[in-house]
Amino acid sequence: MTSPSNPAAGPLAGVRVIELGQLIAGPFCGKTLADFGAEVIKVEPPGKGDPLRKWRLLKNGNSVWWEVQSRNKQSVTLDLTQPEGQEVLRALVKDADVLIENFRPGKMEEWGLGYDDLKKLNPGLVMARISGYGQDGPYRDRPGFGIIAESMGGLRYLTAEPGRVPVRVGVSIGDTLAALHGVIGILMALYHRDARRGVGQVIDIALYESVFNCMESLLPEYSAFGVVREAAGSALPGIVPSNAYPCRDGWILIGGNGDGIFKRLMKAIGREDYAASPEMAGNDGRVKRVADIDGAITAWTKSRDKATALKILAVHDVPSGAIYSIADIAADAQYRARDMILNIETRDGYRVDVPGIAPKLSATPGAIRSTAPRLGEDTESVLKRAGVKAETIADLRAKGVI
């Protein structure tokens, strides 16, 4: 498949975004807005650009990850450490709706580009500021990375088998959660500006807070009972049964924790006695018998291969599934049917599969309208539109500002 239909439309059409971020959190925020029609002007330092261009596996000298993170964006090179570069950014801000930055707190103010400075040029500007610990507090000036946020937010403490070293999720989930909180904040701020008061505001997104916001019942359980949830591997403590179970040829996941689902699951594995048990009818009772329940499920799965077990569970309407690798994802009919795997041609002329657009909007769907840009390819056109004269652009290029 190529891009979904209706590529020109998008619910954020007409929204202009300046993206100053690098690597993951800021750019993923910008990418999500761009997928839904926002015009995203990505500002990169001259020379090397965003370091993500060289992260992980490269093809023709560029990261294939770059093709996902920077699709639908324009690339402008600009050295913000130089006064001339700062002045150009001010020109761009005048007709922008949103500015995204993920520098360490205080850096924008050091350049004379803090919100108090920029709102004088554009009172309606919405400024999303993504940092490790937020714009204030005792940790404000510490360097922040997604892995540290995952640790401080409570996630890394739980990602382990009991008694073993905590492991990372496998992707930069702390950065991505912060980016999505940024998108939510931007949309709320734009709604407030346009529907209510006509003024912009700052969205202060801390990586650790974005992780912590998704940690479910950890804090109230600790507050009410003094309980510290510990690492439990593939199980979900206190919610039974929900675990990974071994088959002859690998593992499957089963979520049988709903009361009705539990009964269907027990019938599927031939344990009608458990299905009929008043003691196990509710989750509170099942928690007391978790070892027995998991043991019964394991005895059943170990005698079958994955495909057979999953087929039986599907017949009984029990949530279950294989543990997918990316090879499994790429071959899966559901992903293909919903355009979640799209094939694009990059600026370098090779074709590659990339993730599709989520979420799905019925009237104004997102789309891939353009592939990831070459470094600085839109600098001249964007600056001219902002009112920068041709001779000034030539001078800035000669000085290495752009």
Quick one: pLDDT at residue 8? 58
Identify whether the C-beta of residue 96 lies closer than 8 Å to the C-beta of residue 17. yes
Quick one: pLDDT at residue 198? 85
**Tokens matching residue 286:** 């099942």
Q: Is the pLDDT of residue 189 over 50?
A: yes
Q: Is the pLDDT of residue 4 over 50?
A: no
Superfamily of domain covering 242-325: formyl-coa transferase, domain 3 (3.30.1540.10)
Cis peptide before 7 (omega within 30 of 0): no
Distance, first Cα to last Cα, the chain: 37
Quick one: pLDDT at residue 7? 56
Helices 306-315 + 259-268 axis angle, to 10: 130
Q: Is the pLDDT of residue 6 over 70?
A: no
Quick one: pLDDT at residue 21? 86
Q: Is the pLDDT of residue 3 over 90?
A: no
Q: Is the pLDDT of residue 38 over 60?
A: yes
Residue found by looking up tokens 């499957």 in the block: 252
Tell me the residue type at 300: W
Q: Is 48 exposed, middle or buried (0-12, 13-18, 19+ CB in 10 A)?
A: exposed
Tens-digit pLDDT profile for residues 97-147:
999 999 999 999 999 999 999 999 999 999 999 999 999 999 999 998 999
> Which residue of the set 175, 249, 259, 328 is catalytic?
175
**Band (2; pLDDT cuts 50, 70, 90):** very low
Tens-digit pLDDT profile for residues 276-285:
999 999 999 9
Question: How is the chain split into domains, by residue range?
Answer: 16-213+333-398, 242-325
**Band (196; pLDDT cuts 50, 70, 90):** confident
Quick one: pLDDT at residue 236? 87
Range from 157-166, 257-266, 283-292 carrying the lowest mean pLDDT? 157-166
Entry pTM: 0.93
Max CA pair span of the chain = 84
- Indicate the length of the chain as a whole number: 402
**Cα separation, 193 vs 176, whole angstroms:** 25
Among candidates 281, 352, 391, which has minimal Cα distance to 68?
A: 352
**Band (394; pLDDT cuts 50, 70, 90):** very high
Percent of the chain residues past pLDDT 90, beyond the cut: 95
Mean pLDDT value of segment 380-394: 96
Tens-digit pLDDT profile for residues 319-374:
999 999 999 999 999 999 999 999 999 999 999 999 999 999 999 999 999 999 99
Tens-digit pLDDT profile for residues 220-255:
999 999 999 999 999 988 999 999 999 999 999 999
Identify whether the C-beta of residue 89 lies closer than 8 Å to the C-beta of residue 113. yes
Map the chain to HEC letters: CCCCCCCCCCCCCCCEEEECCCCCHHHHHHHHHHHCCCEEEEEECCCCCCHHHHCCCEECCEECCHHHHCCCEEEEECCCCCHHHHHHHHHHHCCCCEEEECCCCCHHHHCCCCHHHHHHHCCCCEEEEEECCCCCCCCCCCCCCHHHHHHHCCCCCCCCCCCCCCCCCCCCHHHHHHHHHHHHHHHHHHHHHHHHHCCCCEEEEEHHHHHHCCCCCHHHHHHHHCCCCCCCCCCCCCCCCEEEEEECCEEEEEECCCHHHHHHHHHHCCCHHHHCCHHHCCHHHHHHCHHHHHHHHHHHHCCCCHHHHHHHHHHCCCCEEECCCHHHHHHCHHHHHCCCEEEEECCCCCEEEEECCCCCCCCCCCCCCCCCCCCCCCHHHHHHHCCCCHHHHHHHHHCCCC
**Cα separation, 338 vs 20, whole angstroms:** 32
Q: Is the pLDDT of residue 5 over 60?
A: no
Whether domain 16-213+333-398 has CATH 3.40.50.10540: the reply is yes
Q: Is the pLDDT of residue 382 over 60?
A: yes
Q: Does residue 175 have an active-site annotation?
A: yes
